[in-house]
A and B are shown apart, each in its own frame.
Chain A
Amino acid sequence: MRFGVVVFPGSNCDHDAWYAVKHNLGHPVDFIWHDSDKLGNVDAVILPGGFSYGDYLRCGAIAKFSPVMSAVRKFAAEGGLVAGFCNGFQILTESHLLPGALIRNRDLKFICKPVELITATSDSPFTSTLRKGQTITVPIAHGEGCYVADPETIERLEKEDRVAFRYVANPNGAMHGIAGILNEGRNVLGMMPHPERASDPLMGSTDGLAIFQSMVSAFAIK
């Protein structure tokens, strides 16, 4: 299975995602330049963390106009696996591939720390190797990670089992403690925590690797 990591101007977790897939997961991975309207020969797309376009205007608001995002939209519509971590999640909501928005943390400060997440569903190509209710430790690093949406959207997310991860101790004020969500087709995941930072034993946790491994097994079944 071949992964692709999109590089926007200002992406800064692109190499980390690349390294986790290549060396910790052991799968081939390419970088995809934001200016490209093709994804190449990849089987899954990662939108990495960072500050695309400096997070100017709003996080992810400018990145959604990149040529590569048209290709990502098409890929997702055809059922391709798309995972956005941190800034990648913000780009997915701005692009309307996922509902809701990410606003400034409750305390108005950037927070970097490992947090505990509860796996809210194992029924997705990103969480199938985890048990529902299983706790994993994955770092967050964001200033604007407070997930919000209108009440109908939140209710739908809950009813359709589309909350992927919830914080054990809510660090940023996110509604329903939401750390990550799925789209209707369950093939697009957005999450604020950084699984690529929890994929190497030297970094203190390898819990994040389960998300990549789930993607690999989903692809193998397909």
Chain B
Amino acid sequence: MPITPEQLAVHRLTRDEYDLIVKILKRDPNITELGIFSVMWSEHCSYKSSKRHLRKLPTESKHVLVGPGENAGIIDIGDGWAIAFKIESHNHPSFIEPFQGAATGVGGILRDIFTMGARPIAVMDAIRFGPPDDPANGARNRRILEGVVSGIAHYGNCFGVPTVGGECVFDPSYSGNPLVNVFALGVFKHDEVFYGRATGIGNPVIYVGAKTGRDGIHGASMASAEFDEESDAKRPNVQVGDPFMEKLLLEACLEAMKTGAIVGIQDMGAAGLTCSTCEMGSRAGTGIEFDLMHVPQRETGMTPYEIMLSESQERMLLVAEKGRENEVFAVFKKWGLDAVTIGEVTGDGILRVKDHGAIVAEIPNRELADEAPIYDRPHNASPYRPYPVEGPESIASGDLTADLYKLMSSPDLCSKRWVWEQYDYMVRTNTVLGPGGDAAIVRIKETGHSVAMVLDGNGRYCVLDPFEGAKLMVAECCRNLSTVGATPVAATNNLNFGNPERPEIMRQLVLGIEGLGEACRFFETPITGGNVSLYNETLGEPIHPTPVLGIVGLMETAAPVSPTFKTAGREVILLGGLRLEGCDKSRFGGSQYANTVLGKQWGLPPKLDMDYEKRVHTAIREIVTNGLAESAHDLSDGGLAVAIAECSFGANGIGARIAIGSDMEPVMLLYHEAPSRVLISTANADAVKAIAAKHGVEAPSIGQTIADTIELSTGGQVRVRTESRALRDAWENALPALMKTR
């Protein structure tokens, strides 16, 4: 039966793509084959709009053992050990069904890690929603936030992986399109790495884990389309997660790998059985032939189309050495899991799917997996930018103390304890520094080393200038890691953008990738993999361009330096200095102060000097690792005033008396967000300044820590004065209070 234009539209394939399919097959596809092509050639699986630009990213360094293309990137951490890590989005499912969407997002990225042989030891989440206090959409935004957080908690807590950090950001642009980006990291020895390759002709192809149902059919295609009024009807496309099953699958897979009988393994994620079979075959240059009647099914009467496109969770595909299947089966039996041979590796490079012996699909693996059309989408437009160049006439404020209260209790800057206390961030007893620090630190028990990690994105900067915004994001991640004493070594990225078929959105994507590439090259943090999530629009309204970056760093295991002040009477040093040059009103329009207090955005993001930034990183690492800082906290959203407040939120209530001797507009002085700065309290000011001077970094003393009070003066006048505990209460109580509103 010939394929109709309606069927093509449903499968989101263009006429040209269809013609290419016909050319590859040398005949018309049947409906099962059309379904298979549609998921593999979807934006989500094929990266067809972004691929030619992703090639501009750096991917290599002396630490990188495996770069993009595998299930996760792998980095050498010394002593014969390695880490695998990656970030992935589950934006679209989380909007439609927040709890399961987020839960299965965690499940998917965990499988990407342990399919390579690594045991997951940490998860982080970057989540973005519409404002919880939005007059029109607040209730819905809170419901999505609540669902996403409990979904992440449900899956990660039960699986037994600590959720050690991340970020939770609010902006109206995410109101119709929340972002859920999940990062996972695992650890293993160099000789324990497995790849998703179907090698060895005649080797059995084995299906393990949960049974296949009708859930999640066309999830990958759904993730490649904009939302409209009918998106609710897509709820059945969202998968349902079972973290207990995943925990068993983890233990069984790692144990089965130790038998030596497994030659290749890949999880069934987006596009399920289709993706795992053709990618494993394509990577090895082999074919795979299997019969659907052997696939464990939990529903009756499933068609070949449904089985091939199901995105049921907690399933893996593995290829074992012929004759040693029973060793693999024994392990899965021990853990109470299904494991059945469904077919074998062939030499002809063809994915041949049978149903009770009759061929239902026959497609060359390489063309299906790797030769999706690649588009050079037009981007000869100015990036989409719904904000003016010019800001308001004046940014002066009547009450800077009230402004600080407003900022510290705003959804973006308030304490996210309500979120992260729902996550088990301690399980596995490796969390040296958990949520609330500048970066998370997880020790590797088997070595004397720890891995530090951080997630960051900044849609507010990127919407003003995607290129500079992306660079600022890389700088901040590396600064976060350096502030806890770690050396940044590698990155993974999640590019969240709108509809790439609009040139002004495509331009954002291209500029974002170029900025990311330039900064990652400069800071020596190659990108080892990641994810692109496009079509993040609802009813034509795109999200802020939001690249999210996860960077990992390495350090010796040691007691951590935390952000909060420890002792009164210590000198407070602003490493990096005030950074007032190039700091004017036009570069204030992306700040939290402009956004939250003035309710406006304009102009450009702050100015970044990458060379200076890098010297600040080297200096702070040296200061922290030599034990010279009692507390250290990098400046970011909200600038100096917010950083001082955050440093004053320890249980001891110690604040600071700060005096800035400049006549500049106080709002600008206290709240500008120039990068390259770290706030330190120290009993060894001379030693700190000597290290700063050695690296050519300014390190002015700006005040002392004092008991109970935060006092900020500029130009000889007190501008902000408050009890630190009162401000902390406002900061701590803001989100719980908001979440109680009905």
Contact = CB atoms under 8 A, between A and B. Distances in A.
Interface stretch (A8-16, A125-133, A210-218): A8-16
B46 interface: no
Nearest to A9: B248
A20 B336 CA distance: 29
B429 A55 contact: no
Interface string A168-210: 0000000000000000000000000010110111110000000
Contacts of A53: 244
Interface residues of B, number: 30
Interface in B406-429: 420-429
Interface in B211-264: 242-245, 247-248
B158 A202 contact: no
Contacts of B244: 9-10, 51, 53-56
B51 interface: no
Contacts of A20: 429
B153 interface: yes
Contacts of B426: 112, 139, 141, 194, 197, 203
A110 B429 contact: no
Nearest to A35: B334
Mostly helix, strand, loop or mixed at chain A's interface? mixed
Contact of A112 (B242, B335, B422, B557): B422
A110 to B, nearest CB: 5
Given A9-B248, A202-B432, A54 B158 contact: yes
B37 interface: no
A141 B429 contact: no
B659 to A, nearest CB: 34
Given A111-B421, A141-B426, A51 B431 contact: no
A50 B160 contact: yes
Contacts of B336: 9
B501 to A, nearest CB: 41
Contact of B157 (A19, A110, A194): A110
B735 to A, nearest CB: 13
Interface centre among A20, A55, A201 (most CB of B within 10 A): A55
A109 interface: yes
Given A50-B160, A51-B244, A56-B244, A203 B429 contact: yes
Nearest to A112: B424
B422 A141 contact: no
A113 interface: yes
Interface string A10-48: 101101100110000000000000000000000000000
A112 B423 contact: yes
A201 B557 CA distance: 12
Interface residues of A, number: 31
B142 to A, nearest CB: 14
Given A113-B421, A203-B429, A12 B443 contact: no
B34 to A, nearest CB: 37
Nearest to A10: B244
Contacts of B559: 201-202
Given A51-B244, A109-B422, A141-B424, A200 B429 contact: yes
Given A112-B423, A202-B559, A51 B428 contact: no
Contacts of B423: 110, 112
B247 A196 contact: no
B194 interface: no
Contacts of A139: 426
Given A19-B445, A202-B559, A109 B428 contact: no
Contacts of B427: 12-13, 16, 49, 141
Nearest to B242: A54
B682 interface: no
A10 B251 CA distance: 10
Interface in A140-158: 141, 143
Interface string B7-27: 000000000000000000000
A108 to B, nearest CB: 9
User: Which of A13, A110, A194, A199 has the most B CB atoms < 10 Å from its CB?
Assistant: A110
A201 B247 CA distance: 28
13 contacts: A9-B248, A10-B244, A15-B428, A19-B445, A51-B243, A55-B158, A110-B422, A139-B426, A141-B424, A141-B426, A194-B426, A202-B432, A202-B559
Interface of A: 9-10, 12-13, 15-16, 19-20, 49-51, 53-56, 109-113, 139, 141, 143, 194, 196-197, 199-203
Given A9-B244, A112-B421, A113-B421, 11 more contacts: A10-B244, A13-B160, A54-B244, A109-B150, A110-B424, A112-B422, A112-B423, A139-B426, A141-B424, A141-B427, A202-B557
